[in-house]
Amino acid sequence: MERNSFVHILLILIVLLITIFFKSYIALILSVLYFSFFIYHFDWKRSLIFVVFLIPLTVSLTLGSQQEPPQFNVEYKIQTIYTNSYTVRRNGEVYYVVANPEDLLPGDIVTIDGNFSEVGNESTFDAFVKSNGTNYTIWANNVEVIEKKSNARNEFYNQIHTSESSYSNFVSLLIYGRGDPEMTEKINEIGITHLFVISGFHVGIFMIILFSLLDYFNMNRNINLLISSSLTFSFLWLTFFPISGIRAFIFRITRFINPYISRNDSLAITGLIFFVFNPFLLLRTALVLSFATTFFINIILDKKYDKTATTVLISLTAFIISVPLVSTFNNTFNILSPFMVIVLTPMISFYYVIVMMTLPFIRLWEYIGWMFIPLILIVELFYLISITVTIAQVPFLYILMIYLLIYETYKTDFTPMQISIILVSFFYSFTLL
């Protein structure tokens, strides 16, 4: 199959999903264009793969209406925790709950009282709720905990959050995204949140370090892959399987298995795996951000610029690509963020390695918190000098369309300066909307 064939298949499926879900005429026109391209470059292998992937899309679009409505004052099991919401399961059915999870963890048993509504096909919130495998949203007024789940993962989480050491507070922020509220707010305002919560950045570091360390001892490549993958999967389990972390894990696995596959084909295979599991996952803002940022960074890496130009372009690209998506829920940003990311990335990488080495030694936690003081001081300094501006909130659907159209420039031979001009122009076009 030719280079980037998987990318084309995934793009067609995404556009088709957008067309059906949002009922958008713009997406419909783009669908026709992509299908025309698909037919023009017809080969039976690609067509067979495309037809196979239409099956989960059809199933996902037809099964939602068969779900039973939620009941109140009955027991539910907590499934997935978000910042201001969570999902629960009862009798095999999943429901999305809008309420502060507070101290709830996966596996806890609760009863819920409130109201519910059926999910439509109108907004990114609807798509996000459906990506959780449900057709109903519960607006909770009262939640009562019946039983707390006790297992190694929850005990570890509680150990970190009940400790008063500065080490525990930093690790909580780095691994779970729940640290000191004041520090968390500053990190959000600076625009460097992705460096502190588990994402593809962290999982990539974790897997590369493990793989390189085992490779240093001349371990068989297949055994190395098995061990490093198993340890990374255990780490994801410990952190409650963050969606961007899973994306990075699958991406790295495909790259390790076949180092000769193109980066974006590997990314597309990852997207197709998500598509089989649940097509609506590809409409989640956080996951779209993760895929889009990685996709455009791969384009920079494929150009093989020198190390300095690559570092600057990656930081600038990640920032500019993320701004429109972030604007869908927060229309303020720090224009110095990309330069701060360049400074902080090596520091965060270093601290991340330190945390992985010291995490098992609980008795040392209260003695090594001082190591994080330089990082805290730099964050405080960046917060003081940050320059925050406001931009227009761009509809999520239009952002997806622009990303898909930008893909058509992928094979052009741009210089670093030309790419910078294109990215900056792309970014500032949103500030004028």
Domain ranges of the chain: 5-66, 75-149
What percent of the chain lies above the pLDDT cut of 70?
75
For position 79, what pLDDT does the model report?
A: 92
Distance of CA 281 to the CA centre of its chain: 10
Residue 107 has pLDDT above 50, yes or no: yes
Residue 38 pLDDT class (50, 70, 90 cuts): low
Q: What is the pLDDT of residues 181-235, one digit of tens each?
A: 788 788 878 877 777 777 777 787 788 788 788 888 888 878 888 888 888 888 8
pLDDT of 108 reads 94
Helix (H, G, I), strand (E, B) or coil at 257: helix
Residue type for position 312: V
**What's the pLDDT at 404?**
61
Count CA within 13 A, CB hemisphere, residue 203.
27
- 3-class DSSP assignment, residue 368: coil
DSSP one-letter string for 317-351: HHHHHHHHHHTTT--EEETTHHHHHHHHHHHHHHH
Residue 341, classified by CB atoms within 10 Å of its CB into exposed (0-12), middle (13-18) or buried (19+), is: buried
What's residue 432's pLDDT?
A: 43
pTM of the model: 0.78
State how beta strands 93-98 and 136-147 pair: parallel
Instruction: Say how far apart CA 112 and CA 141 lie, in whole Å.
Output: 8
Mean pLDDT in residue range 95-111: 90
What average pLDDT score do residues 24-48 get?
56
- pLDDT (0 to 100) of residue 115: 92
* Most confident of the ranges 38-52, 63-77, 319-333, 403-417: 63-77
DSSP state string for 258-270: -TTS-HHHHHHHH
Q: Distance between CA 294 and CA 304 in Å, rounded?
A: 16
Determine the average pLDDT of the residues in 372-380.
88
Q: Is 278 helix (H, G, I), strand (E, B) or coil?
A: coil
> Top-level CATH class of 75-149?
mainly beta
> What is the tens place of the pLDDT at every residue in 268-284?
888 888 877 888 887 78
Do residues 419 and 313 lie in contact, with contact meaning Cβ atoms separated by under 8 Å?
Answer: yes
pLDDT exceeds cutoff 60 at 46: no
Check: CB of residue 199 under 8 Å from CB of residue 322.
Answer: no
**In the chain, how many H helices and how many E strands?**
17, 7
DSSP-derived 3-state class of residue 132: coil
